[in-house]
Amino acid sequence: MSLKTLAFRSIDLLAPVTPFSLTRNMIGNPLFLPFYHVVSDHDLPHIKHLYRVKSKRDFSADLEFFLKHYTPIGPDDLLEAVNKDLVLPPNAFLVTIDDGFTECEQVIAPLLKQKGLPAVFFLNTGFLNNADISYRNKASILHDRILKNPPSPGTKNEIHRILDSAKVAQSPLEQRLHQVSYQDRAILELIADALDTSFSEYLADKKPYMTDDQVRGLLKDGFHIGAHSVDHPLYSRLTLEDQFQQTRESMQETARRFDLNYRFFAHPFMDNGISADYFDTLVDNNEINLMFGTSGLMADPCPINFQRVFMERSADRNARAEINEEMLKTLARRLSDQNTVTRSKAVIDSDN
């Protein structure tokens, strides 16, 4: 067994008993960028089967924890540090929120304001004003529908046949819904029809995303916004051309619509598998000021791309436990010199 494997296997045992400040000092007090999607005390069918929905109380406790152990910075501080090659204060942190759900303006922003904390909210331009909803959220809605109102055996068979047509791997029905890819997302509409469910009715009724006016309210309160692609595809499965199209269209539309004098972008899902060519081109053209991924505390070879820590992974862990685990993983990766994201050259696929 390698040292790294041994270290990773020990993390579950070590995380609860390792003093937080000790681990943080060991990794050198790096910039900490937590990211969230939603905070709510209500039932959210479009999210609850994807990741943990933190309550207001739990999110407030996270913010208290950050304020106690970290130094808040704004995205302008990060941008200045990048542009002027400055060193950020030790244990700097900046909260970021992805996907542009209505709770950003209704719940998260008021709690951040109470604590005087800056934040960046990243929006999908295809979903603003509830024009549509991400295919992953559609899967969660269908999952919820099946649990709350189990379909007849005939309807279940019909849904399995639809999933078979997209070659979705065999597993229990609810799990199969979550395996539908961005490329096959149209079949979720067929499944919704089979379940007598309508996503457009869901959007009209629940209004899960922010409106332009809500986004303008965030800006008025001093928060920053950025783009998060048009309709939330997994970039590693897109061609380089489509990656650029998603990034540029959403970035330009966000900047135009909200009259921004900066360009911030967070990659949907993760930036793993995106080529070095993509990042080099965006940096060389000076198209974006700051970009973000979701690989925890890993370092990034692109000078304007920063990795963030997912704070909604576990149903029962507080911020201290989540971050401690992430820091121990970082130490384990450093043992084998693997704590920097690696990226290959672009593969030009002639079939696309």
Binding site for Zn ion (CB under 5 A): 98-99, 268
CA 330 to chain centre: 19
Work out how close the CB of 158 gets to Zn ion at its nearest, in angstroms, rounded to a whole number: 31
Query: How does DSSP assign 233-287, residue by residue?
Result: --GGGS-HHHHHHHHHHHHHHHHHHTT-SS-EEE-SS--TT--HHHHHHHHHTT-
Work out how close the CB of 229 gets to Zn ion at its nearest, in angstroms, rounded to a whole number: 8
Cβ–Cβ under 8 Å, residues 338 and 344: no
Determine the 3-state secondary structure of 120 from DSSP: strand
User: E strand or H helix at 345, and its extent?
Assistant: none
Work out how close the CB of 98 gets to Zn ion at its nearest, in angstroms, rounded to a whole number: 4
Work out how close the CB of 116 gets to Zn ion at its nearest, in angstroms, rounded to a whole number: 26
Residue placing its CB nearer to Zn ion in the complex, 233 or 268 = 268
Residue placing its CB nearer to Zn ion in the complex, 99 or 325 = 99
User: E strand or H helix at 305, and its extent?
Assistant: strand 305-307
Backbone angles phi, psi at 31, to 5 degrees: -60, 135
Residue placing its CB nearer to Zn ion in the complex, 45 or 293 = 293
Work out how close the CB of 137 gets to Zn ion at its nearest, in angstroms, rounded to a whole number: 10
User: E strand or H helix at 327, and its extent?
Assistant: helix 319-335
Residue placing its CB nearer to Zn ion in the complex, 50 or 168 = 50
Comparing C-alpha atoms, which of 66, 79, 83 is closest to residue 120?
79
Query: How does DSSP assign 89-119, residue by residue?
Result: PTTEE-EEEES-BTHIIIIIHHHHHHHT--E
Residue placing its CB nearer to Zn ion in the complex, 296 or 328 = 296
Distance CA 265, CA 303 (A): 14
Rounded to the nearest 10 degrees, the angle between the axes of helix 187-194 and helix 199-206 is 80
Comparing C-alpha atoms, which of 79, 77, 11, 65 is closest to residue 34?
65
Residue placing its CB nearer to Zn ion in the complex, 99 or 312 = 99
Work out how close the CB of 72 gets to Zn ion at its nearest, in angstroms, rounded to a whole number: 23
Structural tokens at position 227? 């783009």
Residue placing its CB nearer to Zn ion in the complex, 137 or 339 = 137
Structural tokens at position 48? 């609850």
Residue placing its CB nearer to Zn ion in the complex, 70 or 223 = 223
Work out how close the CB of 179 gets to Zn ion at its nearest, in angstroms, rounded to a whole number: 18
User: E strand or H helix at 290, and its extent?
Assistant: strand 290-293
Residue placing its CB nearer to Zn ion in the complex, 238 or 327 = 238
Structural tokens at position 295? 């690989």
Distance CA 118, CA 341 (A): 27
Amino acid at 288: I
Work out how close the CB of 318 gets to Zn ion at its nearest, in angstroms, rounded to a whole number: 23
Work out how close the CB of 17 gets to Zn ion at its nearest, in angstroms, rounded to a whole number: 33
